[in-house]
Amino acid sequence: MMLTMRTAREEGFSLVFPLMERSFPPTERRTQKGQRALLDHPCYSYRILEDEEGTFLGFLAVWDLGKFRFVEHFAVNEKARGKGIGGKALQMWMEESDTPAVLEVELPETEIARRRIGFYQRMGMYLNDFSYIQPAMQEGQPPIPLQIMSWPKPISKEIFTPWQKILYREVYEAGKKGESLSH
C-alpha cells in the first residue's frame, strides 16, 4: 500500500477529531472546542495519512517547538490497523527533520502500554528513565504520570526540563485556555 502524508490544519479537523475521540480516553485528549482552538497555533499541525486513492488512514498531531518536535496524538483508523501504516507514518515524520522528537507514553504497567513502547523502540525511539506528569487535558480531569520517549537518542532529565516547560506552556496551556499562545 502506498502511504502519503500531508500537512493540514482546519481542513483536517473533521477527519482527525472523530478518530481522536475513538482512540483516546477523555484524560488523554481535549474537548472538541479545546482541540479546535489549537488550529491557529503556529507550531501545531496534523499530518494526515492517506492511501493512493486519498482514503483517510490516520493522523499524527504534532508540534514543532523549535529545539524539539512533539507528537501529541497518533492514531491509525481501525480498519487500517495492523498493516504497517503506523510504522511507515512515524518513520516519514521523523525523517522530515533532524530536530529531536519526543512523545509521551503510559507507564509500562500493562501489556498494551508495553506493546506501544516496544513499537516506538522498534522505530528508533528511546524510553527515558525519569518521571513526567502530563497536565490535565480537560477541565476536571487528573494529571497523568507518563514517561517520555525520544528520538534520535536518549535524553536526560536535565535536557528535558527546559523542554517540559515549553510543553506545559505551549501545548497544555494553549488547549486549556482555548486560545493560541506564542513563544
- The predicted structure's pLDDT at residue 1: 79
| C-alpha torsion angle, residues 20, 23, 25, 29 (rounded to 10) | -30
| CATH architecture, domain defined by 4-177 | 3-Layer(aba) Sandwich (3.40)
Q: Among candidates 18, 123, 2, which has minimal Cα distance to 78?
A: 18
Lowest mean pLDDT among 86-95, 109-118, 131-140, 173-182: 173-182
pLDDT tens digits along 100-141: 999 999 999 999 999 999 999 999 999 999 999 999 998 889
**Residue 107 carries which side chain, given as an amino acid letter?**
L
pLDDT band per the 50, 70, 90 thresholds, residue 153 = very high
Would you say 18 and 12 are in contact if contact means Cβ atoms under 8 Å apart? no
Q: Where are the beta strands (DSSP E) in the chain?
A: 4-8, 44-50, 56-64, 69-76, 101-106, 126-127, 132-134, 144-151
- The predicted structure's pLDDT at residue 180: 34
Going by the DSSP 8-state scheme, the letter that residue 169 receives in this structure is: I
Average pLDDT along the chain: 93
Give the pLDDT mean for 143-171: 97
| Structural domain spans, the chain | 4-177
